[in-house]
Amino acid sequence: MLVVGSGMAGLIAAITAASRGKSVRLAARGAGHLAVGNGCVDVLGYVDGEIVRGNPVDSISRLSGDHPYRRIGAETVAESLAFFARLCAENGFDLAGGNGENQWIPTALGSFKPTWFYTPAMNRETLSMADRIVITHMPWLKDCHADMVKACLARQRRLMSKDMYIEETAPFRAHRNLTPLAAARFVDTEAGERWLLSQLLQCLQRSSSGRRTAVLLPPILGVTRSAEIRARLSEALDADLIEMASPPPGVGGLRIRRTLLRAAAGVGVTVMENAHVVEARVQGQRCVSLVCDATGGEREVKADSFIIATGGFLNGGLVAAPGGKVCEAIFGHALPAPERTEDWTMPDMLDSQPYAKLGVQTNTRLNPITPEGDALPDNVYFAGRTLAGYDFVNEKSGMGVAIATGYHAGMNC
C-alpha cells in the first residue's frame, strides 16, 4: 500500500499498516509540520469555546456529527492514543501526560495551553510545586520575552504568590538570528551543556535561597540527548527545569519525528522522499495508482490501497483557487465551501474560522464521499488535516486528529 505525506498522520498511518503486516511505501514531498512543531499532542482542549474538563475523549460526544473524531468514534480515538504512547515508549521517547485530564503547559508567551501528551520538560506541575521561579532571560534568542512571561505568570492564581525572578543569560555566540533550535543543537554538544550549566549556575546564585526552585527556559535542552541533559542539569543545579513551548521551529516536534521515522524503518516502511504526487489514476470505484512528479519525469506507483495524509492549505493537501473554489490536490475533488469568500472568515480572529474546517468529507472508514454522500474510490483513505469538519486551532486538536485518523486509516486499509 502507499501512504502520501510524512507529517504526523502519514507516519502514524504507515506505521500502523506496516505493524499489521502490510507492505508499505510512504511518498512525500516535504517533511510535514511535525518537523517544526513544539512536540505537544493536543487531543481536544475546547468544545464550542468551552474548556474541556476530564479526559478529552469523553467530550467527543459533544462535537458535531461531521467532526473526524465522531466519524471514527471515541473508542478508536482512545485506542490510537494508546498506540501512539506505546510507540514512543518502545522507541525510547519519554512522553508525559495522557491520563487524567488535559495538562496546561507553559508557552514562550507566558500563557498556558491545554494539551494531552507533552515532553516531561513541559510539566506545569513543577511550577506549581516550586517556591520560587527563575525565568531565564535570553534577549539574544528569537521570540523569547522574559518580561512578558513574568507578567503572564503573575496573573495565574496558582503562581502569583511565588517569588519570581528574571535572570539574564549571556549568549553562547553572537549572531542576529539565533533560534531555540540553534541553542538546543549547541546544548546537545558537551561544550554546549557546559555552557548552559554555567549560565544557569550564575542565574541561581544571584537569586539564591534554599527553597525549591523551578527554572523556566525556552526549548533549548538538546534535540537528541534532551532527557539525559535535563536529568543531569536538574541534579547539578538542585532545581527543576521547565521548557516553554515555542513557535516554529519548536524543537519538541523534531524529537518526536526522529522517533517515528525510526519506528517506521523498524517495521519495514520504505520512504520515497521528494516525490510530489500530482495525479491519481482511477478506474471505476478503485484507485489503481498515483503519479509522482520525480526527476526524469512522471513515475507511476501502483498499490492496492492508498492513504492520503497531505495536510491542509499550508502543506499542499488542499488548494484554494480564486472565486472561492477549494479542491483536494491529488484527486481534484471539488470540496464544498461557502460561496462568498467573505464568509470563509469570522471577524473575531479568536473565533472558530470556517476556512479552517474546509477539507475532504469521508465515511466512517475514512473513504472520501461526495457532498451528496456517495462513495468515491473505496480503496482510498484520508487522514490528518486534509479532513473536513474540525478547526484544530480553535479546539486544540491538531496532532490528536492526525494520530487518530492516521491510525484508523492504517487499521482499515
Partner 1 sequence: MNMNVRIPQPDRCIACATCVAVCPVAQNCPDFPGPRMMGPARQRFRLMGMGEDEASHYCANCKNCDIACPGDVPVSAFIMRAKAEICKKNFPKLRDWILAHGEVLAHCLRFIPAVFKNFGMTFAPARLLLDAIGIARKASLPNFAPQAFRARLARLAQPNLSRAVVFFPGCFVDTYEPESGLDIVAVLNRAGYKVIVPGTTDDSGAFVCCGLPMVANGFWQDARDNARRNLKTLAAWAAKGMPILTACPSCALMIGKDYAEYFPALIAPGQSSSLVDVCDFLIGCVERGELALPAAPQKVETVFYHAPCHSRALGIGLPGLDLLREIPGIQAEYADSGCCGISGSYGFKKDKYPIAMRVGAPLFEAMRQSGATLCASECGTCRVQMRHGGGKQTVHPVSVLRRYLG
Ligand X SMILES: Cc1cc2nc3c(=O)[nH]c(=O)nc-3n(C[C@H](O)[C@H](O)[C@H](O)COP(=O)(O)OP(=O)(O)OC[C@H]3O[C@@H](n4cnc5c(N)ncnc54)[C@H](O)[C@@H]3O)c2cc1C
| Alpha carbon distance 178, 140 (integer Å) | 7
Beta bridge partners of 114: 104
Binding mask 235-254 for partner 1 (x = CB under 8 A): -------------xx----x
| Alpha carbon distance 406, 263 (integer Å) | 15
Q: Among the candidate windows 73-81, 85-93, 164-172, 312-320, which touches ligand X by CB under 6 A?
A: 312-320
| Alpha carbon distance 361, 57 (integer Å) | 22
Smallest gap from Cβ 245 to ligand X, in A, equals 6
Round the CA-based radius of gyration of the chain to a whole number and report it.
22
| Alpha carbon distance 88, 13 (integer Å) | 15
Smallest gap from Cβ 173 to ligand X, in A, equals 27
| 112, 117, 186, 195: residue in contact with partner 1 (rule CB under 8 A) | 186
Smallest gap from Cβ 49 to ligand X, in A, equals 18
Q: At 356, which amino acid appears? A: A
Closest by Cα among 136, 160, 124, 132 to 239: 132
Q: What are 147's three cell numbers?
A: 518580561
Count of positions on this chain that bind ligand X (CB under 6 A): 37
Per partner kind, with CB cut-offs from 5 to 8 A, the member of partner 1, ligand X, none near residue 10 is ligand X
| Alpha carbon distance 219, 108 (integer Å) | 9
CA distances from 372 to 64, 285, 335, 344, 362 (A): 18, 16, 11, 21, 11
| 120, 171, 266, 316: residue in contact with ligand X (rule CB under 6 A) | 316
Q: Among the candidate windows 68-76, 191-199, 347-355, 394-402, which touches ligand X by CB under 6 A?
A: 394-402
Q: Is 179 in the site for partner 1 (CB under 8 A)?
A: yes
Q: Is 185 in the site for partner 1 (CB under 8 A)?
A: yes
CB nearer to ligand X: give 209 or 274. 274
| Alpha carbon distance 366, 383 (integer Å) | 7
| Alpha carbon distance 403, 6 (integer Å) | 12
Between vectors from CA 21 to CA 18 and to CA 25, what angle results, nearest 5°?
Answer: 40
Per partner kind, with CB cut-offs from 5 to 8 A, the member of ligand X, partner 1, none near residue 309 is ligand X
Helix (H, G, I), strand (E, B) or coil at 122: helix
| Alpha carbon distance 391, 289 (integer Å) | 31
| Alpha carbon distance 308, 409 (integer Å) | 9
| 1, 14, 18, 34: residue in contact with ligand X (rule CB under 6 A) | 34
DSSP 42-111: -S--EETTEEP-S-GGGGGGGS-TTSHHHHH-HHHHHHHHHHHHHHHHHTT---EE-SSS-EEEEBTTS-
Smallest gap from Cβ 325 to ligand X, in A, equals 18
Per partner kind, with CB cut-offs from 5 to 8 A, the member of partner 1, ligand X, none near residue 37 is ligand X
Smallest gap from Cβ 142 to partner 1, in A, equals 10
Per partner kind, with CB cut-offs from 5 to 8 A, the member of partner 1, ligand X, none near residue 329 is ligand X
Smallest gap from Cβ 111 to ligand X, in A, equals 12
Binding mask 31-50 for partner 1 (x = CB under 8 A): xxx-xx--------------
| Alpha carbon distance 62, 263 (integer Å) | 34
CB nearer to partner 1: give 73 or 248. 248
| 273, 300, 339, 351: residue in contact with partner 1 (rule CB under 8 A) | 273
H helical segments located in 91-220: 125-129, 146-154, 180-188, 190-206
Per partner kind, with CB cut-offs from 5 to 8 A, the member of ligand X, partner 1, none near residue 262 is partner 1
| 21, 296, 322, 323: residue in contact with partner 1 (rule CB under 8 A) | 296
Q: Is 30 in the site for partner 1 (CB under 8 A)?
A: yes
Beta bridge partners of 97: 117
Please give the residue ranges that form the binding site for partner 1 (CB under 8 A). Answer: 25, 27, 29-33, 35-36, 173, 175, 177, 179, 181-182, 185-186, 248-249, 254, 261-262, 265, 270-276, 292-297, 299, 311, 314-316
Please give the residue ranges that form the binding site for ligand X (CB under 6 A). Answer: 4-10, 27-34, 37-38, 40-42, 248, 276-277, 309-311, 315-317, 329-330, 384-385, 392, 398-399, 402
